[in-house]
Amino acid sequence: MSSHLIELNSGESIPAIGLGTWRSKPHEVARAVEIALEKGYRHIDCAWAYGNEKEVGEGLRASGVPRSEVFITSKLWGTYHRRVEECLNETLANLGTDYLDLYLIHWPVPMNPNGNDPMIPKRPDGSRDLDESWDIRDTWKGMEEVLKKGKVKSIGLSNCSEMMVEKILTTANVIPAANQLELHLYNPQHKLVAYLKSKGIVPQAYSPLGSMNSPLLQDEVATNIANTRQLKTSDVLLGYLLRKDIVILPKSTNPARIEANLIGALEAYKRLTAEDMVVLDNVAANGKQKRFIMPPWGIDLGFENWG
CB closer to ligand A2P, 91 vs 234: 234
CB closer to ligand A2P, 48 vs 292: 292
Rounded distance between C-alpha atoms, residue 75 and residue 101, angstroms: 11
Q: How far is the CB of 247 from ligand A2P (least distance, A)?
A: 13
Give, as one character, the DSSP assignment of residue 153: S
Q: How far is the CB of 6 from ligand A2P (least distance, A)?
A: 18
Give, as one character, the DSSP assignment of residue 111: B
Annotated binding site for substrate: 106
Residue 271: its H or E element = helix 255-271
Identify the active-site residue in 50, 80, 206, 240: 50
Sheet of 102-105, strands arranged across: 19-20, 43-45, 71-76, 102-105, 155-158, 178-182, 202-206, 247-248
CB closer to ligand A2P, 278 vs 294: 294
Q: Mark 157-167 as b/e (b = at least 16 C-beta within 10 Å).
A: bbbbbbebbeb
Residue 201 one-letter amino acid: I
Residues 6+ apart with CB under 8 A from 201: 9, 156, 157, 165, 175, 176, 177, 178, 179
Rounded distance between C-alpha atoms, residue 72 and residue 205, angstroms: 15
Q: How far is the CB of 151 from ligand A2P (least distance, A)?
A: 28
Residue pair 208/234 in contact (Cβ under 8 Å)? The answer is: no
CB closer to ligand A2P, 41 vs 80: 41
Query: Annotated catalytic, 103?
Result: no
Q: How far is the CB of 253 from ligand A2P (least distance, A)?
A: 4
Annotated binding site: 106
Q: How far is the CB of 238 from ligand A2P (least distance, A)?
A: 8
CB closer to ligand A2P, 20 vs 110: 20
- Could you give the angle at the alpha carbon of 154 between the alpha carbons of 75 and 11, nearest 5°? 155
Residues that bind ligand A2P (CB under 6 A): 20, 207-212, 214, 217, 234, 250-254, 257, 260-261
Longest CA span, the chain: 56
* Catalytically active residues, by annotation: 50
